[in-house]
Amino acid sequence: MSEEPLKLYFVADDYGVSAETNEAIARVCAGGIVRSVSVLAGEQCVFSPENVRGLAGEVAFGAHLYLTDLPPLTSKLKEVAGLAGRFSKVEVLRALLLRRVSYPDVETEFAAQMDCLRAHGFELKFVDTHQNIHGMPLLLEVVRRFTRKQGLDRALRPSWQLDFSLRLGLRALLSGMQALRVGFRPRARVVVECPGYGVNEVPLDEALKQWDRFLAEVKERDYDALYVPCHPGCSSAEIKIYSSSAFLELLRQHNVSLMNGGEELK
């Protein structure tokens, strides 16, 4: 009996935040590893028609829903954000707990973001969230409810985190408890702290050795799928890794199936 392929989704986050980020994402997508791109819908976001046309048909686009870091689109959240114009995670939690923002307000904001992306011509195949806010206990259920209404609940990035080191830290433990509590994708993980994250320089050979060890060990675990978010607009190291033909060959050696918006790429 042949070994079942390990299913990996490599997802480039934050498309739209700047022309430079868009170009960096287009570059990694050309390498054949990253096949999903999540798009921000902020008022100041940049949607280059040339970049979109260059990626269309080769990658799946998803909505990168946000409440933090960027100014909201809807009047209610703008009013609550006040002079700051945007929320931090702590401020989002405070606004929800003090009932200055309701869950229907959050859903209205998310709907506005998805409408914005569709108006710019994006066919949305999946959903994830900026800074993984749907991993927060107060928000996971509302995000799931919203994505069910959109017909994308099964295409929502998992909230249960898996550290690349495969050690069970507090963050992974808490995210796992929350996912189990609400019955959300218990056999899928989002992999965090991968080589190159948040840095500009990393030796490619060392990164490949780390991935070789990770893939050898993780295939022994019973996961349906692993999601690997990357941020090429913030890290030249990630551009090097995720554009590497040597990395693509390593994935093939480990019998990895690269996934694209829920569709397996042969």
Q: Could you give the 3-state DSSP secondary structure of residue 209? A: helix
Confirm if 22 and 48 have CB atoms less than 8 A apart.
yes
CATH class of the 6-71+105-264 domain in this structure:
alpha beta
Closest CA to 63 of 151, 122, 103, 134: 122
CA dihedral 146, 149, 152, 154 (to 10 degrees): 90
CA–CA distance, 46 with 191 (Å, rounded to integer): 28
Q: Where are the domains of the chain?
A: 6-71+105-264
How would you write 152-173 as a 3-class SS string?
CHHHECCCCEEECCCCCCHHHH
Residues paired with residue 263 on neighbouring β-strands, in sequence order: 260
Predicted confidence pLDDT, tens digits, the chain (266 residues): 347 889 999 999 999 999 999 999 999 999 999 999 999 999 989 987 666 767 777 789 999 999 999 999 999 999 999 999 999 999 999 999 999 999 999 999 999 999 999 999 899 999 999 999 999 989 999 999 999 999 998 899 999 999 999 998 998 999 999 999 888 999 999 999 999 998 888 899 999 999 999 999 999 998 999 999 999 999 999 999 999 999 999 999 999 999 987 554 43
Q: What is the pTM of this model?
A: 0.92
For residue 135, CA distances in Å to 42, 63, 68, 91 come to 21, 16, 13, 16
* Residues in CB range of 176: below 8 A, 6 or more apart: 160, 161
**What's phi and psi for 178, nearest 5 deg?**
-70, -45
